[in-house]
A = this chain, B = another copy of it.
Amino acid sequence: MDEKKLAIIATKGSLDWAYPPFILASTAAALGYDTQIFFTFYGLELLKKKLNLQVTSLGNPAMPMPMPIPVILQTMPGMQAMMSSMMKKTMKKKGVASIDELRELCLEAEVKMVACQMTVDLFEFDTSDFIEGIEYGGAATFFEFAGESDVCLYI
């Protein structure tokens, strides 16, 4: 039987939504899947050498909080940094690998990472800010792989 294939389109760049692509990709790779992630739009943030990912409860009423905080207070200066710091601490305390570590794990497991060239141009990202070992391409290139995939996820 042929190797299974997992294709992921990673479009989000917040701290919380950085986990799913890397967790799913590393899990699939460990299961023997040939895995590719196409990073586009805000997802390109996940490819930066120096990650500075933030999370916010704004617009996400389902985010678990240690105590209820009025929405207006969630917009106050320092709140986003505090929530991001808390999420990182919780992940660490619970033994969940950091985004850096999960990303490294994916690269070691030969997950192919492709940065969307159009978005790089659009947001004027400096590719020297991105990690080594990635490729650059467009949606058409990605479809070559996705069209043959067993599972394709838009995250």
Task: List residues of chain B with CB within 8 A of the CB of A123.
Answer: 64
Q: Contact at A63–B77, with CB atoms within 8 Å?
A: no
How many copies of this chain sit in the oligomeric assembly? 3
Question: In the complex, which residues of chain B have a beta carbon less than 8 angstroms from the beta carbon of A112?
Answer: none
- Any chain B CB within 8 A of the CB of A102? no
Known: A58-B71, A77-B70. A154 touches B27 (CB 8 A): no
A80 CA / B24 CA spacing, docked (Å): 32
Chain A residues packing against B (C-beta within 8 Å): 4, 7, 9, 11-16, 19-20, 23-24, 27-28, 30-31, 33, 40-42, 45, 53-56, 58-64, 70-72, 74-77, 79-80, 84, 90-91, 94, 96, 118, 121-123, 138-140, 143, 146-155
